[in-house]
Structure formats: C-alpha cells, structure tokens
Amino acid sequence: MTRCLDCGAERSADQCSACGLTSAAAEVLLRRRLMLRTAWFLVGAVLFLPASQLFPPLELDAILIFIGVMFFLVLGLGVWVERRARHHLEVEALKRVYFGFVPVPWLLAALLFANGKFDTAPPTRQVTRVVGKFSMPGVLRSNRLVVTSWREGQRFERVPVDRNDYDRFQPGDSVLVQVQHGLAGIPWIYGVYRQ
C-alpha cells in the first residue's frame, strides 16, 4: 500500500484520487512543505535563546540541554522523512510526528515568557554565597554565578545573570538571590543583590 505524499490518502494509481496530484508532484510539494516547516522550527529554536533570558529560569542550563538534544533529534527526523520520501517509502506517520515538533520551540519560548511576565506570586529571597562563575561565549553571551544551593538535595545553583552582575560579584561574596515562583511553577531569577 502506498500513500499520497501530499495528502496522505491511500493511492492505487500514480495519480492520487483525493487531491489529484501525481506521485512526482506530491513529492515536490512535500519537499517544499518540509523546508518551510524546518525553517519555522529553526527560527523558533534561534528565538528561544534570547526569549529564555528575559525571565531566566533557575534551571536554564538543563532546559538548554533539553532544547539542544531535541533540536538535533527533530532535524534528524526531518532528514529521515525527506530521505524516505525520495525513495518512495511510507512517510505519513513520521511526517505527522515531525510536523508536531515544529511548534515546540515556539511554545516553550511562550511558556517561559508567560511564566515570568504574568507571575504575581511574592518572591523569595535566598541568602547564599558565590563559589564560582562562568561565562559562555558566543553570539549570545551567557553568564552564570555558581552559588551554594538553598534547595534540598542540590549542592550548587547556576544562576543566570547579566553581564553587569557577572562582573560585580566575585567568588566568596555573600549575595541575595531573588527567586520568583513562576506562573507555570518554573522558578526564575529576578535578580542578584549584594547582601
């Protein structure tokens, strides 16, 4: 059984009875759609980086690793769909999974934005000590203060800070970290202050 690459209907002749496309035309359309959706996915993933720094989650590094792994898995899936289509193999299920992942970076960026923007819960202030810091170079410079954790079962926190705070604090400094609860329950960092 083969399915039309464009509309997914079962196809017994070269021309699809549902959408009227020949298999060659359907393949061209599928490739165009794959490219468009992939572009959307890439733009979303790129925009996610600055968006995630507006109300930076406490677990930003874990979130970025998750996004990074997902990014390569999804792109790999896209390449797989394209390759199968080129060999005229069944792609319908894979295509749906792939298209389903396309909005995920956009949704995650929106979730993190809403989590901080509409957060009305009172903040908590944690007294802690800076034990280290590191800066990740790149287009989007990313700075972290490593502080002793206030959470149970956790030794350190990697607190995302802006360039100014990164330069201002040194290992050994006692600081106040203002943590917001987050609308969606994702704790985020409001700021770091000198005690």
Residue 4 engages Zn ion in binding (rule: CB under 5 A): yes
- Strand segments, DSSP code E, in the chain are 2-3, 10-11, 124-136, 142-148, 156-161, 174-180, 188-194
24 lies in the site for Zn ion, by CB under 5 A: no
Minimum Å gap between C-beta 118 and Zn ion is 43
> What order of strands is seen across the sheet that includes strand 174-180?
156-161, 142-148, 124-136, 174-180, 188-194
DSSP string, 167-183: HH--TT-EEEEEEE--T
**Least distance to Zn ion from the beta carbon of 9, Å?**
5
Contact call for residue 25 and Zn ion (CB under 5 A): no
Could you report how far apart the first and last alpha carbons of the chain are, in Å?
70
CA–CA separation, 192 vs 169, rounded Å? Answer: 9
**93 Cβ neighbours under 8 A, 6+ residues apart:** none
Query: Is 4 or 112 the residue whose CB approaches Zn ion more closely?
Result: 4
Q: Does 18 bind Zn ion (CB under 5 A)?
A: yes
Q: What is the phi/psi pair of residue 73, to 5°?
A: -65, -45
Closest distance between Zn ion and the C-beta of residue 25, in Å? 9
Q: Which stretch binds Zn ion (CB under 5 A): 6-14, 129-137, 158-166, 183-191?
A: 6-14
DSSP state of 123: P
Binding residue for Zn ion, selected from 2, 15, 19, 22, defined by CB under 5 A: 19
State yes or no: residue 43 binds Zn ion (CB under 5 A): no
Residue from 3, 16, 30, 160 in contact with Zn ion (CB under 5 A)? 16
Q: Per CB under 5 A, which region of 16-24, 28-36, 89-97, 152-160 contacts Zn ion?
A: 16-24
Give least dist CB 16 to Zn ion, A: 3
Q: How far is the CB of 95 from Zn ion (least distance, A)?
A: 13
The residues binding Zn ion (CB under 5 A) are 4, 6-7, 9, 16, 18-19
